């Protein structure tokens, strides 16, 4: 593992939308059709979905419900993979030699096999926890469920080619 070093390039590096943002922007209609035609949450009728898919509403139905989460992932992951493939093909056709993918569950899904190198963005557990709990809709229960499904940070650091440590002190702090 190497510490990330600053680098310069003459052109901007294309940056893939974070995996969490791909569907709401690129395949919203596909996701809405898939969810509305699926009993993705047992015993929960799925009425016509609003124009914007509410991640917080979906989260309420899948946190603590492994069956519902697997069903949701079986709908979402193929759509994300298709959008990622489309985006990568576009970048390759444009002659881009370097792209960055932001994949939250990289190791958990085996997606690191698709990458030439992996940079893990990391912070101490207490900083990660504070940042996560500051997000709208996050609770102790939801955070615990999320962390239970993830490779621990230490494991990600060991497997990474580069580690970007995000611990910083703001100006004026001591």
pLDDT of amino acid 73:
82
Q: Tell the CATH topology of 2-165.
A: Rossmann fold (3.40.50)
Q: What percent of the chain has pLDDT over 90?
A: 17
Model confidence pTM above 0.75:
no
CA distance 83 to 25: 10
pLDDT of amino acid 40:
46
Four-residue CA torsion sign, 97, 98, 101, 105: positive
Average pLDDT, the chain: 74
């Amino acid at each position: 593992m190497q510490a990330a070093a600053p680098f310069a390039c003459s052109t901007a590096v294309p940056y893939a939308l974070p995996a969490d943002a791909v569907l709401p922007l690129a395949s919203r209609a596909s996701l809405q059709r898939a969810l509305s035609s699926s009993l993705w949450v047992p015993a929960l009728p799925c009425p016509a979905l609003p124009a914007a898919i509410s991640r917080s509403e979906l989260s309420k139905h899948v946190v603590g419900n492994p069956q519902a989460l697997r069903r949701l992932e079986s709908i979402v992951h193929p759509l994300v993979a298709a959008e990622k493939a489309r985006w990568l093909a576009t970048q390759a056709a444009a002659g881009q030699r370097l792209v960055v993918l932001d994949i939250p569950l990289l190791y958990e899904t085996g997606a690191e096999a698709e990458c030439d190198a992996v940079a893990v963005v990391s912070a101490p557990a207490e900083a990660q926890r504070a940042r996560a709990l500051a997000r709208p809709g996050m609770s102790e229960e939801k955070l615990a469920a999320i962390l239970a499904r993830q490779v621990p940070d230490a494991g990600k650091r060991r497997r990474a080619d580069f580690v970007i440590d995000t611990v910083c002190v703001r100006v004026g702090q001591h």
